[in-house]
Every structure is written in structure tokens, then in C-alpha cells.
Amino acid sequence: MTTFNCSLTPHMEDLPLEALGDVAAYFQALSEPTRLRILSLLRSSERNVGELAELCEYTSANISRHLAILSKHGLVARENRGTSVYYRIADESVYKLCDLVCGSIARQFEQHARERQPFVQTAAKTKPRR
């Protein structure tokens, strides 16, 4: 079994092959829009399943399944309070990752819009008038 030093922040090339499966599973947990919405909602405050279900407009059972996946990968933590279970973010670094990806997507979107702009202007000029 390969080991690595967890006290340092390893880069992808520093991880043993066995760990790459865990990295892929982490990204897979983030690959569903509902789970990203849940993480976004938990960014401002902890919430219970019912609150998340209402805000996401899904059933509590559906939200619970998504929360189980997020919990399995260490992204959210749960706390029992009476008859309710509250969820909060367990790993704040997920927001750095999501913000980085969102910034990249926004830049790509802006670049595509700039590339399309000359075509839109040309099409508007050549459009026949009625």
C-alpha cells in the first residue's frame, strides 16, 4: 500500500493511484446540480432536510439521498436536534473549488459571447426588411 504525507497539501501528481479513485468519487459527488444547489444553500447557514427540500422544490426523500452522498464524501456534516437533523458544510474548501470552476465557466461563456458577437451583428445587417 502506498502512503503519502497528509500534513502537506499534495498535488494530483503526488497522490498514489489508489487515491485517484477517491478524487474521482469526490468530483462525482459534485457532478449533480441538485447537490451543488444544496451546497450553495448551506453556504449561508445550516439547514434541515425539510428546509432544503422546500428551497430546492424536491421531496425530503430526494434531498436526503443527495445529502447522504455529500456526507459520504465528507462535504456535509449532520447534527441531530430533537426530531430534526441539521446539515452544515464540513469542508469549506469545496467553495473555493466551486468558485474556481464557476469563474472558469463564466470566462468561457463571455469568450463564446464575444466570438458570436460579429456573427450576430452581420446577421442583423443582412436580415431582409419587411
Please list the rounded mean pLDDT of every run of 10 residues in the chain (130 residues). 54 86 92 96 96 97 97 95 94 89 88 79 63
Q: Per the confidence metrics, is the pTM higher than 0.85?
A: no
Name the residue range of residue 84's domain. Answer: 13-91
Task: Determine the Cα–Cα distance for residues 114 and 39; give it in Å rounded to an integer.
Answer: 31
Do 84 and 44 share a structural domain?
yes
The answer to whether residues 67 and 26 belong to one domain is yes
What local confidence, expressed as pLDDT, does residue 1 receive?
Answer: 45
Cα(127)–Cα(130) distance, integer angstroms: 10
